Amino acid sequence: MGDHKEQPLRVGAAVRRRRRALDLTLAVVAERSGLSVPFLSQIENERARPSQSSLEKVADALRTTAVELLAAADPACSVDVVRVEGTEPWGEPHVRSLVRGHHQMYASEFTGDHDAGRELQFRNDQLMYVADGAVEIEAEGRAYRLGRGDTLYLTGGVRHRWRATVPETRLLVVAVAEHIEAVRDKPRR
């Protein structure tokens, strides 16, 4: 049914599809990501499962995000339950996709700290919600401190970075998927 608990995400096919869509060789992706060609081949053939760090490097090399690769890793379902069981232990930094498949939105849960120096920019709008702990988000030259229950809305295209300021912080990010061309209504005259 919609509960795919027993089926692990197969990100390799998503990586291969994206690489081929960009007409790139494994060697080019390896050079851009700093990962080896054999390792990338193993990922594409589902013989190796990349760490979050490696997946982000691959995503950067493919001009996309790790979230988008994870979202494209599983076929879309009209109803799908993503269970928390079997994820990495709480307290360890990790990211978990809250939506599987190729949908019009994505949602991720970041637990713990994250690479605070990494600048992010998404094509479409996103909402960041602090479920637990606290974060500091830098956007448009300003720092915003958010605590439990606070949200921050970012318009598509805004460059930003964030960091957890309290251990065991949980940040939820919900956004319009990158493959959707979100167009703003033009003002009426």
Q: CA 141, CA 86: separation in Å to the nearest integer?
A: 39
| pLDDT over 90 (residue 39) | yes
User: How much is the average pLDDT of 143-151?
Assistant: 96
* Nearest-angstrom CA–CA distance, 150 and 132: 10
Find residue 40's DSSP bridge partners: none
pLDDT at 175 (0 to 100): 87
> Is the whole model's pTM more than 0.85, yes or no?
no
Query: Residue 89 has which token pair?
Result: 């232990």
Dump pLDDT digits (tens) for 151-182. 999 998 899 999 999 988 999 999 887 766 65
How many Cβ atoms are within 10 Å of 55's Cβ, its own excluded? 21
Of 59, 171, 68, 182, the C-alpha closest to 123 is 182
E strands, the chain, where?
94-97, 105-111, 126-132, 134-139, 142-147, 151-154, 160-164, 170-176
What's the rounded Cα separation, in Å, for the pair 84 and 33?
A: 30
SS3 170: strand
| Average predicted confidence (pLDDT) for the chain | 82
Residue 172's DSSP bridge partners are 109, 129
Quickly state the pLDDT bin for 43 (edges 50, 70, 90).
very high
The bridge status of strand 134-139 relative to strand 160-164 is: antiparallel
Q: Where are the beta strands (DSSP E) in 20-169?
A: 94-97, 105-111, 126-132, 134-139, 142-147, 151-154, 160-164
Give per-residue pLDDT as tens, 49-74: 898 899 999 999 999 988 888 877 75
Contact 111, 96 (CB under 8 A): yes
Residue written as tokens 């995000």?
65
